[in-house]
Amino acid sequence: MPDAEMFVGIVTKAGGGSRLGFASILFTGEGGHAHDAAEGPAAEFYADLHLSEIIASVIAGSEEYDLAPFFRMPLGSVEEITYRQEVLRELEDEQLRSHIEAFAGGMRAMRVQLAQAQKLYYPYQKAIWFLRAVGTYCLCVRTFADALSGSEVRSRGMLALKAYLSEYANSDAFSALAADAAQLQDALGSVEYRVQLRGSRVTVSEHEPAPDYSREIEETFAKFRQGGAKDYRVTFPDFPEANHVEAEVLDRVARLYPELFAELTAYPERRRSYLDPTLARFDREVQFYLGYLAFIRRLEAAGLPFCYPEVFADAKAVRAQGTFDLALADSLVREGGMVVCNDFHLQGEERIFVVSGPNQGGKTTFARTFGQLHHLARLGLPVPGRQARLLLCDRIFTLFARPEQVEDLRGRLQGELVRLHAILEAATSRSILIMNETFSSTTLQDARFLGREMLQRVIRKDMLCVYVTFIDDLSRLGDATVSMVSTADPQDPARRTYEILRRSADGLAYAMAIARKHRLTYDMLQRRLAQ
């Protein structure tokens, strides 16, 4: 009888390639098998850009599949991104998606049965639950193969899966597995035996033909039936675990059919490797697509747009229309709030957005949006917006404010400079840097000097950058910089519109308008205190 480790292995070992030309619905070639190459959870930008919140929302309810690593595993080529986008477009078809969800449901039921077999104590019961799991697996594979054979798929991933599944389902090995399981289940279903109860004594013996008195009674009194009657039959609880009496009965039945139950006992060990690793891997990987599509479907129902971005490995002329912060939108839609969309674009020699304007106007949200779009795009996923053209970046770096740590023995400014130096050392021309209120802990003069020096190094690296800062004259550093400004309502400067517009910075902080609205100007305070 297989042990606990074997059961875990059956469900989780889904690596390796395929002899039939299909290995993964997420990755082209063998590169995607190296999960250890994924960016670790300690990468700063996941928290700074609220990507961790997005991932948590997407995978909620699907914890059994361990999908988080896939969202930390960016793709390295436009071809791989196109591969995923093709699959996602097809999964928007409700009928195809229902076939895959039915297959996933069958595989989930199989895992439940395997887990139940692992929990049970009596050997015959463990073997029977294992046999049920194999039967469930064979049924869901055949059903899925039949459904997919009738589907008109076009993406490379789904076409390869369709061919693989057809060949596997019709292979001699799978046919033998299905026939073997069905034959053993039928044989067990045909077992008949006789149980006699006399006081506390239970006797199990061979089945002997005898009249079915229950049936004769029903037939005799059928003519007196008048409408429905209350059912007085007692329903016994159906616990998976057999009690000691049931186990003893089963043991004595096994003595009546020694060959059959010997075959049952040997079955789990003989079929311990029944699960096809490629289909097990597909069952897990496809949840990456299904989970994200289900996540954005709720936002689309609220009127928010999503699109498949154009992704380029070297073009720096990025743009997006009607885009938004996905984490913030998820929260606002849940609460019934309104989501403000924004546009942006870079052209020619432009590389850096310098975002300024009044506080609480959406500047940091805009910076996060820029980073989120590029990360989601390099995962091959639809991004927020009506249209998007993005860079396939190699790394995303963020430099957001961190609280000072006593044990660090460094001030906030020194900590920022150390982190920035490490970023610029590691970054390439295909990297993206997003900074939020960097150097705000020092004097205006020093912050202006450091900001200018930092941006000059970014320009020399030819990186894309978003810099949220209160020093708006940095937006006039040269052709590489573009000014983006958060705006306020002209009729009520204290009210933020959360629109980020491409225009020259005006240097207005609206502090006086806010103070006047709340009756906190010097003159107003004097009059109020004099009363």
Contact criterion met (CB below 8 Å) for 496 and 529: no
* pLDDT score for 35: 40
**pLDDT classification of 36: cutoffs 50, 70, 90:** very low
Whether 66 is covered by a domain: the verdict is no
- Say which residue the tokens 């910075």 belong to: 505
Could you list the residue range(s) of the whole structural domain that residue 392 is in?
A: 302-530
* pLDDT score for 412: 77
Rounded alpha-carbon distances, angstroms, from residue 138 to 111, 131, 273, 279, 420: 13, 11, 13, 12, 56
Q: Count CB atoms within 10 A of the CB of residue 382.
A: 21
CA dist 88 and 82 (Å) reads 10
Contact criterion met (CB below 8 Å) for 475 and 483: yes
**pLDDT classification of 216: cutoffs 50, 70, 90:** confident
Whether 296 is covered by a domain: the verdict is no
Q: What is the CATH number of the domain that holds 453?
A: 3.40.50.300
Ramachandran area for residue 10 (φ above 0: left; ψ -120 to 50: alpha; else beta): alpha
pTM for the full predicted model: 0.85
Task: Reply yes or no on whether the pLDDT at 39 is more than 70.
Answer: no
| Helices of type H across 120-212 | 123-149, 156-169, 172-189
Contact criterion met (CB below 8 Å) for 441 and 403: no
CA dist 42 and 36 (Å) reads 14
Q: Count CB atoms within 10 A of the CB of residue 347.
A: 10
Structure tokens at 89: 């477009």
Structure tokens at 306: 């999503």
* pLDDT score for 496: 82
Rounded alpha-carbon distances, angstroms, from residue 351 to 70, 468, 470, 483: 29, 14, 19, 11
pLDDT digits (tens, 9 = 90+) for 231-257: 777 676 667 777 788 888 888 888 999
Per the structure, the count of domains in the chain is 3
Task: Reply yes or no on whether the pLDDT at 296 is more than 80.
Answer: yes
* pLDDT score for 475: 87
- Residue of 514 and 22 predicted with greater confidence: 22
List Cβ<8 Å contacts ≥24 apart for 484-493. 484/344, 484/353, 484/354, 484/355, 484/356, 484/366, 485/355, 485/356, 485/357, 486/355, 486/356, 486/357, 486/358, 486/361, 486/362, 486/363, 486/366, 487/357, 487/361, 488/358, 488/361, 488/513, 492/517, 493/358
Structure tokens at 230: 């209350």
Whether 260 is covered by a domain: the verdict is no
Same domain, 401 and 502: yes
Same domain, 218 and 354: no
Same domain, 146 and 210: no
Same domain, 494 and 370: yes
Helix (H, G, I), strand (E, B), or coil: what is residue 156? helix
Q: Tell me which amino acid residue 399 is.
A: L
Using alpha carbons, select from 87, 189, 482 the residue that is nearest to residue 319: 482
Whether 17 is covered by a domain: the verdict is yes
Task: Reply yes or no on whether the pLDDT at 274 is more than 80.
Answer: yes
* pLDDT score for 224: 74
- Say which residue the tokens 């000059």 belong to: 456
* pLDDT score for 14: 36
* pLDDT score for 517: 65
Same domain, 383 and 413: yes
pLDDT digits (tens, 9 = 90+) for 491-521: 776 678 889 999 987 765 555 556 666 677 7
Task: Reply yes or no on whether the pLDDT at 40 is more than 60.
Answer: no
Contact criterion met (CB below 8 Å) for 124 and 241: no
Whether 60 is covered by a domain: the verdict is no
Same domain, 184 and 200: no
- Say which residue the tokens 């606990």 belong to: 4
Whether 370 is covered by a domain: the verdict is yes
pLDDT digits (tens, 9 = 90+) for 359-376: 888 999 999 999 999 999
CA dist 236 and 221 (Å) reads 26
Q: What are phi and psi of 464, to 5 degrees?
A: -85, 145
Whether 476 is covered by a domain: the verdict is yes
* pLDDT score for 105: 97
Q: What is the DSSP letter of 306?
A: E
Percent of the chain with pLDDT over 70: 87
Structure tokens at 57: 């929302």
pLDDT digits (tens, 9 = 90+) for 451-491: 899 999 999 999 999 999 988 889 898 999 999 999 877 67
Same domain, 404 and 348: yes
**pLDDT classification of 344: cutoffs 50, 70, 90:** very high
Helix (H, G, I), strand (E, B), or coil: what is residue 447? helix
Burial of 372 (0-12, 13-18, 19+ CB in 10 A): buried
**pLDDT classification of 142: cutoffs 50, 70, 90:** very high
**pLDDT classification of 7: cutoffs 50, 70, 90:** very low
Same domain, 314 and 422: yes
Structure tokens at 212: 């079915």
- Say which residue the tokens 């959406």 belong to: 362
Same domain, 162 and 249: no
Same domain, 370 and 504: yes
The size of the chain, in residues, is: 531
Rounded alpha-carbon distances, angstroms, from residue 336 to 189, 248, 302: 55, 60, 9
CA dist 446 and 4 (Å) reads 63
Task: Reply yes or no on whether the pLDDT at 272 is more than 50.
Answer: yes
Using alpha carbons, select from 33, 243, 40 the residue that is nearest to residue 125: 243
For the chain, give the mean pLDDT.
87
Whether 262 is covered by a domain: the verdict is no
Mean pLDDT for 140-149 is 97
* pLDDT score for 507: 63
Same domain, 199 and 183: no
Q: What angle do CA 298, 498, 521 make, to 5 degrees?
A: 140
Give all strands of the β-sheet with 432-436 in edge-to-edge order: 396-399, 432-436, 464-468, 352-356, 481-489, 492-502
**pLDDT classification of 12: cutoffs 50, 70, 90:** very low
* pLDDT score for 240: 76
**pLDDT classification of 210: cutoffs 50, 70, 90:** confident
Positive/negative CA dihedral, 409, 414, 419, 421: negative
* pLDDT score for 5: 40
- Say which residue the tokens 């002209």 belong to: 490
- Residue of 358 and 390 predicted with greater confidence: 390
Percent of the chain with pLDDT over 90: 62
Same domain, 203 and 123: no
The contacts of residue 524 (CB under 8 Å, 6+ apart) are 516
